[in-house]
Structure 1
């Protein structure tokens, strides 16, 4: 069928932006296609049925009658999609027309394209999958966060440190604010080398001003929080009245105190003053030189401190509590 509906976005090639010559996509120009999507200066020739199967917007568009005098290209009507980008559609069409049976974790760029276009053109299945990936990758509970971190699996392909910056921007763009605390926490806690790179670029606009403030505030807050919660058991200087190590039941307090000092200096010496480990998993090496009682008490304080840090995490980065933050999600 060569007919297609007339839409407000449709125009002839002559009416296209004359500043950029039209080009045909090398990858997505199919001889049996019956609709041409024009995005910026690129044209894609695809099948109406492929778009209609997933999208109610395209399904309704193609159901409208096409005027007899509607200009066509090689017998195909042209739909000019204003406001979209060529890159988003290249990424999106690669999902609609896959070249491999192997399912790989999507990049942040692909997620962004899928979320933008699936919302605009109503591809509910794709949008649901993308949102599920983001919420699972960056959950709102410590149990889910620990499960993903300890197993090492990921639903998103991180290509570089800039992937996190792009994720922050994407979360704000689509109104998925509940994933931001976990994104920031992972940047600071589990990807220390990339975090150093991020910090070095903050001065040259690596983050937007709206993103830079919560990130830096959270960094400073986590430094303070971990000393009084997760790592309060390392209080060998006596800053806190209820330091658990050495324990009252400890049979070798001098040895355990020396062990605590060693761990504290290894983790937070002056050479590594920015070391954020507020949500790190317990390392068995930390307690290997402690007596059984002190090791048990230290880990109990550590676990309770991590739970407290997690509950405070939204506040740490300047957001409301978890429940209110989830309620603010647009999705």
Structure 2
């Protein structure tokens, strides 16, 4: 079964619907109320979070969220019966006000997603992804949760071929880094939400794009000590694997080679590879897809048969390293990595 989140906020919040008159009625506050830009003139419910109000459609919330549907069933009985404890419910422009114990930005992202689900073209930041997963899980909104998880799976897939494709088309990114955000924030998020399937590729990308010093000593990084140790350990293992596997893929001439100069060519290529992989500060995992450029580059030193041999060995070692990538970061095998799911109950 897919792993569950550490704390069942869903169960906790569902239990609160039984006491909805105390939990969700508008509470008095000395802070001024702010009307959000998301104020639908024909809406019939007002959600309030952090003194920010949103006018929205009650039916749309109920359609997407089991949680809200159950809550509205309690607050608004069928057959046009009276509101539960109507004297305690504040109205704004004849709409009942429901107070949520959430950040206003989280509520805003959730509502914009629901009202424009099919045309929603915003490329979310990491903070937006956090909002989507937190609200999607808490209020049982599968589409909101799944959208965030699928974006991460696209960027950090479990198949080597998909990973190579995602690195080739950076302009199609499914999320962006807002000001002040780094991939370290995403590491913390996927750990917190237990999104395991993306972790090997994400961790690989982080350690291959960050310097050793930034991982170990950056005081502004949000990384926990545990995650710093995990990434530093994985970085060392990945660098060792890349050096060994990439070096081995360049050794040995093709059994069909009849060109003596290829022996010297292999020696020069191996020396160049050692300098490239071993003596620079970043990690080069070696998962780049073989291209015609590689064929031309190696063709300067080797015959066609030896170039083909190098290509085949490179692709074989890439596959082997990718298969054991999770273990380099202390994770289970690929087939054992799972993600939590959000399923709407009937």
Following superposition, the deviation at residue 322 of structure 1 comes to: 1.4
The 2-side partners of 1:324 and 1:298 are apart by: 32
Following superposition, the deviation at residue 224 of structure 1 comes to: 0.5
Report whether the alignment pairs 1:267 with 2:276.
yes
Name the CA shift for 1:158/1:197 in 2 (closer, same or farther; >3 Å). Answer: farther
The 2-side partners of 1:6 and 1:320 are apart by: 42
Report whether the alignment pairs 1:292 with 2:304.
yes
Aligned equivalent of 2:287? 279
Aligned equivalent of 1:38? 48
The 2-side partners of 1:264 and 1:76 are apart by: 68
Aligned equivalent of 2:211? 196
Name the CA shift for 1:259/1:36 in 2 (closer, same or farther; >3 Å). Answer: same
Report whether the alignment pairs 1:229 with 2:238.
no
Which one has more relative contact order, counting CA pairs under 8 Å at least 6 apart? 2
Question: Residues 159-196 of structure 1, C-alpha deviation per residue, up to 9 Å, x if partnerless?
Answer: 2693422222221222211211011122344xx3xx23
From 143, 152, 169, the equivalent of 1:125 is 143
Aligned equivalent of 2:340? 330
Name the CA shift for 1:61/1:200 in 2 (closer, same or farther; >3 Å). Answer: closer
The 1-side partners of 2:286 and 2:21 are apart by: 54
From 259, 262, 265, the equivalent of 1:256 is 265
From 203, 219, 225, the equivalent of 1:184 is 203
Unaligned runs of 5+ in 1: 235-242
Report whether the alignment pairs 1:12 with 2:26.
yes
| 1:1-331 equivalence runs, <5 A | 6-14=20-28, 16=29, 18=30, 21-64=31-74, 65=76, 66=83, 67-74=85-92, 75-82=94-101, 84-98=102-116, 101=119, 103-152=121-170, 154-159=172-177, 162-189=181-208, 192=209, 195-196=210-211, 199=214, 202-206=217-221, 207-234=223-250, 243-245=251-253, 249-251=257-259, 252-253=261-262, 255-257=264-266, 259-261=268-270, 263-264=272-273, 267-268=276-277, 270=279, 272-282=280-290, 284=294, 285-289=296-300, 290-326=302-338, 329-331=339-341
Contact 1:246 1:256 in 2 (8 A): no
The 2-side partners of 1:25 and 1:245 are apart by: 72
Q: TM-score scaled to structure 2, two decimals?
A: 0.77
Name the CA shift for 1:196/1:304 in 2 (closer, same or farther; >3 Å). Answer: same
The 2-side partners of 1:306 and 1:115 are apart by: 33
Contact 2:262 2:306 in 1 (8 A): no
Following superposition, the deviation at residue 309 of structure 1 comes to: 0.8
Q: TM-score scaled to structure 1, two decimals?
A: 0.81
Contact 2:215 2:232 in 1 (8 A): no
RMSD: 3.0
Residue 214 of structure 2 aligns to a residue in which SS? helix
Following superposition, the deviation at residue 131 of structure 1 comes to: 2.2
Name the CA shift for 1:154/1:213 in 2 (closer, same or farther; >3 Å). Answer: farther
Name the CA shift for 1:6/1:223 in 2 (closer, same or farther; >3 Å). Answer: closer
The 2-side partners of 1:40 and 1:129 are apart by: 25
Aligned equivalent of 2:12? none
Name the CA shift for 1:246/1:119 in 2 (closer, same or farther; >3 Å). Answer: same
Question: Residues 282-320 of structure 1, C-alpha deviation per residue, up to 9 Å, x if partnerless?
Answer: 351541312222212222221111111101101111112
Contact 2:183 2:206 in 1 (8 A): yes
The 2-side partners of 1:295 and 1:266 are apart by: 20
Unaligned runs of 5+ in 2: 1-18, 77-82, 342-346
Contact 2:249 2:310 in 1 (8 A): yes
